[in-house]
Amino acid sequence: MAREKIKIRKIDNITARQVTFSKRRRGLLKKAEELAVLCDADVALVIFSATGKLFEYASSSMPELLEKYKLHSNNNVVDKVDDSLNLQLQESDQTRMGKELLDKNRELSQLRGEDLHGLTLEELQRLETLLEGGLNRVIRTKDERISNEISTLQQKGFRLMEENKHLKQQMLTLTSNGKRPRTRGVELDNVATNPDDQGQSSDSVTTNVCSCSSGPPPEDDCSDTALKLALPFN
């Protein structure tokens, strides 16, 4: 038959209570020893009976384990205190930052001309002073930007004028050093453009071309030269 489960409550019979204490005490001490051996743990067990008698077990030195326990307990207390202080500081910072955020949002809306009801005359004057100061700073900054842009454009105009002047000088230099083109020693400017002088100019060109040879040129040679120069042949 299965063992009946005992209800956990105080045993009224003193003799039965003493017997149960002795049995369970030995079992508890045995389990503590097994836990220390199997798991390589530091185990300390302290038991006081109803009559005040002490029973203890320690896997190593009991004073060392108690000192270790006190140190660990103090550290836990300090950690708990530090955590509590940090939590309070965080809550205080969050409250302060939330209040500052609300104040800044209200001030910003007032600078936009909103939420002005409830303000006193002094607060309205202070707000007007802030707006005037901000407007003056904006105007001053705008004037500085415009002045800088004008100065930059002027400098750019001066550079363009200097470059234009330099280019003109280069063109004049190239024009003064240039030579007029020639065709077989005859200048093109000698060819008359007036229709009345075309015959005379053609004859003079033909004569000049023919006189360039060392001896009396044959008539056919002068004719060929006149044809090559695109001159009328007589």
Domain segments of the chain as ranges: 14-60, 193-234
The three-state secondary structure class of 77 is: helix
Closest to 106 (Cα-Cα) out of 115, 97, 118: 115
CB atoms within 10 A of CB 65: 16
Q: Give pLDDT tens digits for 188-199.
A: 344 444 444 444
**Domain 14-60 falls in which CATH fold?**
SRF-like (3.40.1810)
Mean pLDDT value across residues 216-231: 47
Spatial neighbors of 21 by CB under 8 A, at least 6 apart, are: 49, 50
Residue 30's pLDDT is: 93
Q: Give pLDDT tens digits for 34-91.
A: 999 999 899 999 999 888 889 999 988 888 888 888 888 777 666 666 677 777 778 8
For residue 172, the one-letter residue type is: L
DSSP code string of 93-143: HHHHHHHHHHHHHHHHHHHTT-S-TT--HHHHHHHHHHHHHHHHHHHHHHH
